[in-house]
Amino acid sequence: MWSIPGRMELTLKYPNLEVQSSLNNSLLQCLTGGLAVPGPQISRLYRLLLAADFAGMKALFNAFYASIPHDWYRENELSSFEGYYASIFYSHFAALGLDIRLEDSSNHGRIDMAVLFNGAVWLFEFKVVELTPAGRALQQIKDNGYADKYQGLGQPVHLIGVEFSKASRNVVGFEVQTLS
């Protein structure tokens, strides 16, 4: 706790992994409008990460975004913002209690999300496109050398470029490259 005359500021942290997971489960429930979706989704994501099953991960997120009610997009521009889609990805991974680094800085820029899990590094870059994927997300990871800072760990580094369509409000591009 810091004290400034006439003002009190607090820095709050999660007291434990269970509270962090519970908070992110609640956030996912709010995003989907249903109580049943997040639990099975999160458990499946964990199994997909263990198996490094990228096709399964894409299918999981496609199904999740497809489950978000159309009415939630009416009279707003949510589908235009990268942060909206990235927040959903983040909440899934945070609900697992993984080591997640958002806006992870390097000497060439910032990767949207880095996840360190099970002896591997997962680097995610998100982009919003009109309708069809352009390959810009994965290309940005490579062009900016975001993986360079993790190469010394001696672990596989998965570069994952995810592109979302404004029109379909879903994942339209999911490119993966693994560096050993």
Please give the Cα distance from 116 to 70 (Å, whole number).
Answer: 34
pLDDT at 38: 55
Query: How many domains are there within the chain?
Result: 1
Of the CA atoms within 13 Å of residue 7, those in its CB half-sphere come to 3
Domain assignment present for residue 6? The answer is no
Instruction: Using the predicted structure, report yes or no on whether residue 25 has a pLDDT greater than 90.
Output: no
Residues spanned by the domain of 152 = 16-179
pTM: 0.75
Instruction: Using the predicted structure, report yes or no on whether residue 53 has a pLDDT greater than 80.
Output: yes
Taking residues 109-120, report their average pLDDT.
Answer: 94
Residue 105 parent element (H or E): strand 99-106
Does 5 or 128 have the greater pLDDT score? Answer: 128
Please give the Cα distance from 121 to 170 (Å, whole number).
Answer: 24
Residue 60 parent element (H or E): helix 54-66
Domain assignment present for residue 99? The answer is yes
Q: Is residue 42 within 8 Å of 90, Cβ to Cβ?
A: no
Question: Which residue, 122, 102, 113, 98, is CA-closest to 20?
Answer: 98
